[in-house]
Amino acid sequence: MEYDPASESAPDISGRGRSRGFSALRYKFENLFKSRDLYLGLFGIIAFVGTWHLLTGVLTLPRFEKLPNPVAVLTEFTSRHPVFGTSIYAPQYYLHILWSVWRIIEAFFLATLLGVPIGLFMGWKKVFKDYTFPILEMLRPIPVLAWVPLAILMWPGREAPIIFLAFLASFFATILNTLLGVESIDESYFRAARCLGSRPRHIFFRVVIPGALPFIFTGLQIGMGVAWFSLVAAEMLSGEYGLGYLVWDSYVLIQYPVIIIAMVTMGVTGFLFSLLIRMVGNALMRWTVREAT
């Protein structure tokens, strides 16, 4: 009756640590170039830019003649002496990015710092949810742009209203997803925790928080997306710097290629932030991954 490990099949996951992790990464990287997806994706981008060039640069169709064509945009973007003052060599360009990024960081951290605990608490204590959920559901559908006048009236200066607007959208998304996260935790974990002798604080820190983590990170990603959205809107209305301001300013000053540069920059920056959140999430939630790498 001795235990024989061979008699029960087990996934081969005996940890051979770091070196395996590295070779797995290299394998993934090499496979990326073998897969069709990469080339199809590249082809899609090329086709998109090609069509854009065709419409604006070659055919110049009626409603497209005013739009900047990709060649003009790229020339401006890479020029050492840009006509409209915005290129990778212009310090001004980075200043705009930094302003937007700084505002996003402030708004996003505020939303996370307030939204996650509120959401956790709503999911954990029914009474608290009963008080707060109706207000939340009433405020949440109001478009952020409708808050602009109140934001300006409520907050002093130029920065505070902008950050408030970016914060607001992110805040609601974070609360709601955190709440859903707590409610998604299977009842059996609470039962197990209780009979193993947990006090309420143990249940909160060792069951509620880790159990809600996957949803919280989904919420943070959505929150980051909507924060960008409302930030740009707010910067267009008031602001001296920032990518949203840059878009609107270039429109007013008829510097059309700069609009495209600012738009692409927003896309790339937003993507990088999303990636960062995903990486932090994956590092915190290794327990959701079947294979140890």
Partner 1 sequence: MADEGGIQEPRETNRVWHKGLLNNQEKVAIETANEGSGKMIVDSLGKTYGSGPFRQYILRDCSFVLEEQKLTILIGPSGCGKSTLINILAGYEEADSGTATLDGAPVGEPNKDRLVVFQETALFPWMTTLGNVTYGPRVQRNRPKDEIETEALGLLEKVGLEEFRDKYPIQLSGGMQRRAELVRAMINNPRVMLLDEPFRGLDAMTRELMQEHYVRLFEERRQTTLFVTSEIDEAIFLADTLLIMTNGPGRIKKSIPIDMPWPRTPDMLTSMEYLRYKEEALDLLHEEALKAFAADNKIAADFLEAYEATKTESVSASR
**Under the rule (CB under 8 A), what is the footprint of partner 1?**
1, 3, 5, 7-11, 13-15, 186, 188-189, 191-199, 202, 206-207, 210-211, 213, 285-292
Shortest distance in whole angstroms from residue 3 CB to partner 1: 4
Report the residue number, 156 or 197, with the smaller CB distance to partner 1: 197
Shortest distance in whole angstroms from residue 285 CB to partner 1: 8
Nearest one of 40, 182, 177 to 121, comparing CA atoms = 182
Report the residue number, 213 or 266, with the smaller CB distance to partner 1: 213
Round to whole Å and give the CA distance between 219 and 180: 10
Report the residue number, 4 or 37, with the smaller CB distance to partner 1: 4
Report the residue number, 70 or 210, with the smaller CB distance to partner 1: 210
Amino acid in the structure at residue 189: Y
Amino acid in the structure at residue 67: L
Round to whole Å and give the CA distance between 9 and 19: 25
Report the residue number, 63 or 199, with the smaller CB distance to partner 1: 199
Residue 136: count of CB within 10 angstroms of its CB? 17
Shortest distance in whole angstroms from residue 215 CB to partner 1: 13
Report CA 283 to chain centroid distance, whole Å.
17
Shortest distance in whole angstroms from residue 116 CB to partner 1: 16
Residue 80: count of CB within 10 angstroms of its CB? 8
Shortest distance in whole angstroms from residue 50 CB to partner 1: 45
Round to whole Å and give the CA distance between 259 and 245: 10
Question: How far does the chain reach from its first CA to its final CA, in angstroms?
Answer: 34
